[in-house]
Structure formats: C-alpha cells, structure tokens
Amino acid sequence: MKITIASGKGGTGKTMVATSLALTLAAVTPKQPPLLLDCDVEAPNAHLFLHPAVTEQQNVSLLIPSVDEAKCTHCGKCAEVCQYHAIAVLGQKTLVFPQLCHGCGSCTALCPEKAITELPEKMGIIERGPAVAGISFARGVLDVGEPMAVPIIRQLKRWARPAPGQVVLYDAPPGTSCPVVETVRGSDYLLLVTEPTPFGLHDLRLAVQVAGELGIPAGVIINRENGPYPALDEFCADNSLPVLLRIPFERAIAEGVAQGKTLVEIHPEYVEHFHRMFTQITRLI
Ligand code: SF4
Ligand code: SF4
C-alpha cells in the first residue's frame, strides 16, 4: 500500500505526520517496517527525525541538448517541438536554456541535421539506507540553484522499490505543483495535513482538486487545532473527506518537534491514534 502525506502549503506538520506514521507502523508490524521516501527534494527534513544511515547514493542527471553550430541550418524545428521554450533559434544562432530543459529528447530526435547531442548534467542525488526502528529510508536532494524537482522524485520512486507487502509512505513537497503531482501519482491514498485557518483551508481546496484530478481517495488530518473552525469541517463534510485525526495546538508538541522529536516520541499515546487511522485508511481504499 502506498500513502502520500501532503499539504497544500508548507509548515503544516506534514513531515511530523509522515515520520510518526512510519514509527507507528514499525512498532505495530516490527517484522516489516515501512519504507519512507522523502520526496520534498528542495528541502528534505525527514532524516532529522528518522536518523538514517546512508548506505547507497546515486547522482541524478538530465540529458541537456548541445547544438553543433557547424551542422545546424537554423531551421527552427527543435524550437517548434520544445514545449518548454528551452531551445530557441535567433537568426544564425541556436540557443539552449538548460534551466528550462526537461531532458525529453524531442529536439534531438527531430533535428534533421543530427546537429544535437545530449550531455548529462547533474541536478541532484538520491540516497537510501536503514533508519530508526528498522524503517527503510530514501530521499532525493536537489542541488542548490537547480529548478527541476520532478526528475529527482521520479528517479527516487523508481529506485527505492519496496519489498512485497511493505507499506510505502511518500512525504510530499508542499504546494500543488508538478513535484506534488509526481509524488502523489500511483498512490493508493492521499493524506492531507491542514491547519484550521483561512490559509490552510484555501490550500486544502487546491490539494483536494489535485486528488480529484488524479482519482486518488483522500482524507484529512487537522493539525494545530485550537478551538472550532466550522468552515474547515463543513468543507470536509461537503467533499466527503474523512477527518482522520485531530492534533491540538500545544506548546509541548511545537517544542518537541523543534528539537527533532516525532509526535509519537513526544506523546507515545499517538501510536494508538496513528494505528487506528491507518486501519481506517485500509478500510477506505
Ligand atoms: S532542428 Fe537541428 S538544424 Fe534545425 S535549428 Fe535545431 S539544431 Fe539546428
Ligand atoms: S530536450 Fe526537450 S525540453 Fe530540452 S530543449 Fe529539447 S525539446 Fe526542449
């Protein structure tokens, strides 16, 4: 089973939920702890809670076109085919913009003069190793200044294959853009962590749209609950979104998380809450 933990915006407690769920599953099924993938490749931080020992690492590269001006006739076919405007013909010059290139290879395949070759350009790494409580851990890390998170997430998901029957938890990047869609794709369930504020509700709406477009069932965790916020409960009820867990706004939790503790370490009774939630999810799928 594959569960993505996501949120429409950053700072809602997504990693706290993902790591606590991983520790809960490791506690209740010690013979097969889960695999957790930190797909927040621009700012991965699940390792701070799960302390993996990295045993394997790989570079992730994109194949970026390089134009041989001696062969190029400046016909413009490469620029026409590029959906990302990453290659342009300006008079007698053909220019490549590597920061925009997705490495799809279309320009190389369609160049009639065979004037394009592809050169690998490193954009980040993926790495894996065992973490606390026997959890299998893997993450991607985007190099500073690189804009393309999606290829790293895609390669991370392909590389970190689960054992048969092993639960996989994807800790998604914040937001609702392409890296989130790439993370969520193929999941059996989407766990949306939100907070009871107008901003939280706004971003939850966007995240629910993504789940709907991908056809993935979703449920909600309300974090930092501090009194009633009926608009959020009404939205969940109107959209048939089960509220699977409510975590109160509490100083002890905030301080513990800031010190690198998971919720189940701060409040061990949450193992039971997370286990109950997981059981509910297995029924909902
Ligand atoms: S398709 Fe090939 S020949 Fe035509 S402009 Fe692009 S690189 Fe040059
Ligand atoms: S490889 Fe794809 S994205 Fe990159 S320049 Fe060529 S067509 Fe555009």
Report the C-alpha gap between 229 and 234 in whole angstroms: 9
CA 118–ligand 1 middle distance (angstroms): 14
| pLDDT higher than threshold 90 for residue 250 | yes
Name the region of 167 (left: φ>0; alpha: ψ -120 to 50; beta: rest): beta
Interval 67-86 mean pLDDT? 96
pLDDT level of residue 146 (50, 70, 90 thresholds): confident
Residues near ligand 2 with C-beta < 6 Å? 65, 81-82, 84, 86-87, 101-107
Q: Which atom of ligand 1 is nearest to the CA of 76?
A: 5
| pLDDT higher than threshold 90 for residue 195 | yes
pLDDT at 148: 86
| pLDDT higher than threshold 90 for residue 19 | yes
Report the C-alpha gap between 98 and 76 in whole angstroms: 18
CA 123–ligand 1 middle distance (angstroms): 25
| pLDDT higher than threshold 90 for residue 80 | yes
Residue nearest to atom 6 of ligand 1 (CA): 78
CA 128–ligand 2 middle distance (angstroms): 30
Q: What is the largest CA-CA distance in the chain?
A: 69
Interval 168-187 mean pLDDT? 93
CA 78–ligand 1 middle distance (angstroms): 6
Buried-state track 235-266, b at ≥16 Cβ within 10 A, e below 16:
bbeeeebeebbebeeeeebeebbeeebbbbbb
Q: Is 226 in the pocket of ligand 1 (CB under 6 A)?
A: no
pLDDT level of residue 28 (50, 70, 90 thresholds): very high
Taking a C-beta distance cutoff of 8 angstroms, is the pair 45, 15 a contact? Answer: yes
Is this model's pTM higher than 0.85 or not?
yes
Parallel, antiparallel, or unpaired for β 93-96 and 87-90?
antiparallel
pLDDT at 177: 85
pLDDT at 10: 78
pLDDT at 11: 82
pLDDT at 75: 97
Report the C-alpha gap between 172 and 5 in whole angstroms: 6
Angle at 190 between CA 184 and CA 193, to 5 degrees: 110
pLDDT at 81: 97
Interval 256-281 mean pLDDT? 96
Here the tokens at position 225 are 């609950």
| pLDDT higher than threshold 80 for residue 6 | yes
Strand partners, 245: 221
pLDDT at 101: 94
Number of Cβ within 10 Å of residue 284's Cβ equals 13
pLDDT at 204: 94
pLDDT at 197: 93
Interval 130-134 mean pLDDT? 97
Residue nearest to atom 8 of ligand 2 (CA): 82
Report the C-alpha gap between 84 and 283 in whole angstroms: 42
Helix, strand, coil shares, percent, the chain, to 5: 35, 25, 40
Helices (H), the chain: 14-28, 47-50, 77-81, 106-110, 150-159, 178-184, 198-214, 230-238, 251-258, 263-266, 270-284
DSSP 8-state secondary structure symbol assigned to residue 12: S
CA 106–ligand 2 middle distance (angstroms): 6
Question: Half-sphere exposure of residue 51, counting CA atoms within 13 Å on the CB side?
Answer: 7
Residue 154's φ and ψ, nearest 5 degrees, are -60, -45
| pLDDT higher than threshold 80 for residue 118 | yes
| pLDDT higher than threshold 90 for residue 41 | yes
Average pLDDT, the chain: 95
Which ligand lies nearest the alpha carbon of 100? 2
Here the tokens at position 195 are 């907070």
Q: Which atom of ligand 1 is nearest to the CA of 110?
A: 1
pLDDT at 113: 97
Question: Half-sphere exposure of residue 195, counting CA atoms within 13 Å on the CB side?
Answer: 14
| pLDDT higher than threshold 90 for residue 176 | no
pLDDT at 161: 85
Residue nearest to atom 5 of ligand 1 (CA): 74
pLDDT level of residue 43 (50, 70, 90 thresholds): very high
| pLDDT higher than threshold 90 for residue 228 | no
The rounded percent of the chain whose pLDDT value lies above 70 is 100
